[in-house]
Structures are given as structure tokens and as C-alpha cells.
Amino acid sequence: MSAAVYPKIELHVHLEATVRPARLLEIARRNDVRLPARTEAGLARFCRPRDFDDFIRVWIKTTKALRHERDFHQVVMDYAADLKAQGCSYAEALFSPSEPMVRGTPWQESFEGYCGGADEAREVHGVDIRFTPDITRDFPVEIAEQLVGWAVKYRERGVVGVSLGGSEHRFPPELFARPFASAREGGLKSAPHAGEVAGPASVRAALDVLHADRLRHGVRAVEDPALLAEIAARGIVCDVTPRSNVLLGVAPSLEEHPLPRMLAAGVKCSISTDDPVLMGTDLTRECAAALDLGHTPLDMYEHALSGAFCEAATRERLASAAAAFDWDSAGMGT
Ligand SMILES: [Zn+2]
């Protein structure tokens, strides 16, 4: 008999990158959108980015198939089933509604589709999904402000924060001070990408200007020991995604990933997938990679829980699930 699947929490996953090739082809046909390949194998081959800029190209050419409320709803439901099978009953997911919006999909279709999918996922799979919609840095700040307006409107439907994504090396956090201030005023948390494609200066600005409650990645903070110490002292959780960092050239290899240095400095690190299907991974594999780097299943869970933006009742449920689990057996499980 195999050992138990240990409980997990996923805090950094882009929903557009969770769609399996078969489903993406089906949605593209339905929406009359041409993808870069017509078969599952062809699409899987296309989804092997060489670096960050190539990843953005792959992202745009595949995720453009998602256009309607029904598509977004279906994406969440499929993904919730994947999470459940991996022992994960709570996720804070990202989606990037500005991209479909500039292609003609009204904001409301994105928000309604994803939030409606989460309602059904809770009932059908028992998985709680909250959202931190991703502001795309590459678009004008006015679009970010519109996104924040919709995010605040959907607070009661599971939106808990906002993120900042896209080309970190071209568009620094300072440009987005205003939308992040509006998000805070609207009761939303801040969880920008920082310290992935750009270095410590980007992390510093994410903390000081965007008042990050949590950092997506943050791994390049290891280049500045004082900054790393500050992140540890403030208890700011970094959502670390080992394989994504290697694929996009942020870390030279899994063996040389900065996670051990972050943990040694006392930084709390949740373990996440980032873009599971686009990067050929899943939460179980990422957690296994983190185990090899010295993390433990219980610490991954507790670090993630301390950074999660959920309300008290959900936090208590997640804490009780951890308390009831036999973590001593987790080392042998998945
Ligand atoms: Zn990300």
C-alpha cells in the first residue's frame, strides 16, 4: 500500500496555465481560435519555453483561446479536481483578466467565470479556491486601475488580493503604486511577483511601494542578505516555484535552487507550481523537489498557511486538517 498523500496548500498558480492540451483544444475549437498546434502532442511540444521572453510568447499564443465565462468556469473546475487528487484543499489562484479584456472579453466575464467555477468546485470537490487577479505590467496603468475596481467588487465572491505579473525586468513596481493603494483601500492584500526576473531592487520596491503582504517568488532576495533578513524578520512568505525558476533561467538547476538559503535565513517559503501544464509539472512534483532541497511537508504547509489570505474559518479548517494528519508518515508519501 502506498503511503498517504500529505496535505498541501497552493498559493501561486496561474489558472490559464493549468489547462491540459485536450481541454485547450476543445475550448479553442468552441471559440474558433487558432492555436499553434492542432494535436495534444503538438501543443505539449510547443509549451516548452526556453526563457522568460519565450514563456510570455507561449503564454499569449495558448491562453488566448480562453474567452468566455464558460471557459473560465470550466478551467477552475478541472483544476480543482487536480488539486483534490494531490491532497490540496486550498489554493490562491491567479488569473490575468486584462489580456482577454483587451481582446474583447468584458471584465465581468472573467471574474464571474472564475468565481462561479470556485463556487461549484467547493461544492463538488470540497476544494476552496480564492483569487488574486494578476495585473499585467505590460499594459498601461489605467488598465490596472480598472482591474482593481473589479477585484474589489468581487471581494465577497472570493477575491482576496491582487498580484502584479508580466515583464518584471521592463516594468518596475513603482509604476503600479496607485492601483495597489486602491486595492489596499478596498480591503485587498498585495502579492506581487518580485525577485524573479529582476533582482533585489524589485523586491525592495514590492515591499516599500506595493506594501507586499506576500511575495510571488522573492527568490532573488538571496542576492542581498540584509533584504533576505528583513523578509524573514517581517514574516513575509515567499511563494517559491522550483521548476519554473529553473525553466525560466532564474536558478541554474534544481540542485542549485536558492530555497535552502532562504530557509536557512528563516524565510517562510510556500511551495507552488506557477504554471503547471505550461511547465510540465504539478504540486506533488514541486513539493518533492522542495523536499530534496531540505524543506519538510509540514513546514511547507505551515509556511503557506501563515501567508494565506483566507478568512478565519477557512484558516481554522486548514489548521485542523494539519493537526489531524500523521506527518511522520508524510516523508514516504506524496
Ligand atoms: Zn507567477
CATH of residue 58: 3.20.20.140
pLDDT at 7 over 50: yes
pLDDT at 51 over 70: yes
Considering the domain boundaries, does residue 162 fall inside one? yes
Distance 58 CA to ligand 1 centre (A): 14
Distance 329 CA to ligand 1 centre (A): 31
Greater confidence (267 vs 328) lies with 267
Q: What pTM, to 2 d.p., does this model score?
A: 0.96
Considering the domain boundaries, does residue 328 fall inside one? no
Query: Model confidence at 259, in pLDDT bands (50, 70, 90)?
Result: very high
Considering the domain boundaries, does residue 177 fall inside one? yes
Domain containing 204 equals: 8-307
Catalytic residue annotation: 196
Considering the domain boundaries, does residue 321 fall inside one? no
**Per-residue pLDDT tens over the stretch 92-127:** 999 999 999 999 999 999 999 999 999 999 999 999
Q: How far apart, in whole angstroms, are the C-alpha atoms of residue 37 and residue 44?
A: 9
Considering the domain boundaries, does residue 322 fall inside one? no
Considering the domain boundaries, does residue 252 fall inside one? yes
Distance 93 CA to ligand 1 centre (A): 10
Distance 247 CA to ligand 1 centre (A): 13
**Per-residue pLDDT tens over the stretch 164-192:** 999 999 999 999 999 999 999 999 999 99
pLDDT at residue number 2: 47
pLDDT at 332 over 70: no
Considering the domain boundaries, does residue 330 fall inside one? no
Q: What is the arrangement of strands in the sheet containing 193-194, beginning at the earlier edge strand?
A: 193-194, 214-217, 237-240, 269-271
- Domain count of the chain? 1
**Are the C-beta atoms of residues 229 and 209 closer than 8 Å to each other?**
no
Considering the domain boundaries, does residue 314 fall inside one? no
**Are the C-beta atoms of residues 133 and 162 closer than 8 Å to each other?**
yes
306: closest CA among 94, 129, 90, 152? 90
Distance 211 CA to ligand 1 centre (A): 18
Q: Which three cell numbers stand for residue 58?
A: 507561449
**Are the C-beta atoms of residues 188 and 160 closer than 8 Å to each other?**
yes
Q: Which three cell numbers stand for residue 87?
A: 491532497
